[in-house]
Amino acid sequence: MRFTVSSTALSSKLSALSRVINSKNSLPILADFVFEINDNVLTLTASDSENVMKTTLTLTESDGPGRFAIGNRDLLEAVKGFSEQPLTFDINEEKGLVRISYQNGLFSLPVDNADEFPQAQTVGDNATVIQLPSNIMADNLGRSLFATAQDELRPVMNGVYFDLTPDCLAIVASDGHKLVRNKVLNIRSEQPASFILPKKPATLLRNMLQKEGGDVIVRFDERNAEITYDEGVIICRLIEGRYPNYNSVIPLSNPNQLTVDRLTLLSALRRVQPFANDSSNLIRFNVEGATLKLDAEDFDFSKTATEQMTCDYNGTPMRIGFKGSSFIEILSNFDCSEVVIQLADPSRAGLVLPSEQPENQDVLMLMMPMLIND
C-alpha cells in the first residue's frame, strides 16, 4: 500500500490527536495512531480507551484502501520538523514496516495491526441532538473549564454539565466554591435532556474548535457522546450521576451592585494576592461610595498590602472576603471591559456578571465568600 500526503497538514493533525493519548496505556496499541485509507481520504484515529478522536485528510494520491497503526512518539518526532513538502508512505505489511520518503531522504518505522485497536463506543439511535455554532461552544467551554472540580468522592463535579430545557441550554461548571452558568438562550428543547462532559474531552474540544468553524453537533445518550466539529469528531464516555441543583445556590436578590473596570481590578488583585496568607489566600474587599479597597495580610511573615481604585457602587458599605486566586480566575475568564459584582451581605455568595451580555447568552459566575476574622 502506498499514499502521499502533505507534511504540514499531517503534522498538524497528528499534534492535535496526540493530546488524547495517555503517557501510560493499559493496551500498547493505545500508544498508536491508526491510519485508514478509503477513496483517497485518510482517517486518523487516536484514543485513551474512554475518549476517541478522529480527523480526516485528503491525500495527494493513494493506490487503494488499507489500515494500519504507528506509534505516536516516533512518528510525531519524525514529521514535525518538515517544511511543506509531500511525504510518501510505503507500507510493507509482511515485514510490518512503513517506509516514509521525502525530498532529501527517508526513514522507516514499525507498523502494528490496527485490528487490535479497541472499537469506539457508539451512541444509541435514541440519542438527543444539540447543534450550536463552534464559537459559542468554544467560548462557553473556555469560560467554564476552570471551575470544574477534581473530586474523587463526587465525580459528577469533575465535568461540564449541559442542561437542555424548554427555556435554554445551560452550560455549567462548579467545584463547590465557585460556579459558572452560561445560558444559550436561542437553543432549547421541549424534551429536557442533560449530560456531564468529562474535563478531558471538554478541554480537547475547546482546543480544537475554531472561531469560524461552522457548527458543533452533539449526539448523546445516557452513557456516551459523539461530538462532530469542522476538523473531526470526538467520541467519549460521559460521567454518570445526578448533577446538583445549581440554580438553588444562585441568590435571586443581591441588591448591592458594584461596577468596576475588569482589567484594573484584575491587575490590583494580582499585585495584592502575593501578600495574602498562603493557606487561606484571603483578600478583603472594602467597598463604600465610589471606592473599592483591597487588603491582604500574612501576619506569620509580617506581610501586608493595600490597594484602592474607583468604582461605581450602589448599596450599603460592605466588607467581604474572597479567595484571591479564585477571583483572579473568574476575572481572567471574562473578555468584557467592565464587570458587575452583585452582593447581599458578607455571608452570602457574590455574583460576577459582564456589564454587557453576549448576544443570545446570559453569563453568570458565582463566588462563595470567606469568613473574615478581625
Closest by alpha carbon to 121, among 243, 231, 219?
219
Classify residue 84 as exposed, middle or buried by CB count within 10 Å of its CB (0-12, 13-18, 19+).
exposed
- Predicted confidence band of residue 121 (pLDDT cuts 50, 70, 90): confident
> Are the C-beta atoms of residues 218 and 171 closer than 8 Å to each other?
no
Residues 6+ apart with CB under 8 A from 314: 256, 257
Residue 26, pLDDT above cutoff 90: no
Number of H helices, E strands in the chain: 6, 26
For 247, the 3-state DSSP assignment is: helix
> What pLDDT, in 10s, does the model give residues 273-330?
999 999 999 999 999 999 999 999 998 889 999 999 999 999 999 999 999 999 999 9
- Determine the pLDDT at residue 297: 94
Round to whole Å and give the CA distance between 157 and 149: 5
* Lookup: cell for 92: 510493507
* Cα 134 to the center of its chain, rounded Å: 13
pTM recorded for the entire structure:
0.92
Round to whole Å and give the CA distance between 50 and 248: 32
Cβ atoms < 10 Å from Cβ of 260: 22
Per DSSP, what are the bridge partners of residue 249?
none
Single-letter residue type at 206:
R
> Are the C-beta atoms of residues 182 and 144 closer than 8 Å to each other?
yes
Round to whole Å and give the CA distance between 236 and 221: 11
> What pLDDT, in 10s, does the model give residues 38-51?
999 999 999 999 99
Residue 212, pLDDT above cutoff 70: no
Closest by alpha carbon to 329, among 160, 170, 174?
174
Cβ atoms < 10 Å from Cβ of 24: 6
Round to whole Å and give the CA distance between 256 and 374: 23
Round to whole Å and give the CA distance between 88 and 229: 28
Round to whole Å and give the CA distance between 329 and 142: 12
Q: What is the mean pLDDT of the chain?
A: 94
> What pLDDT, in 10s, does the model give residues 235-285?
999 999 999 999 999 999 999 999 999 999 999 999 999 999 999 999 999
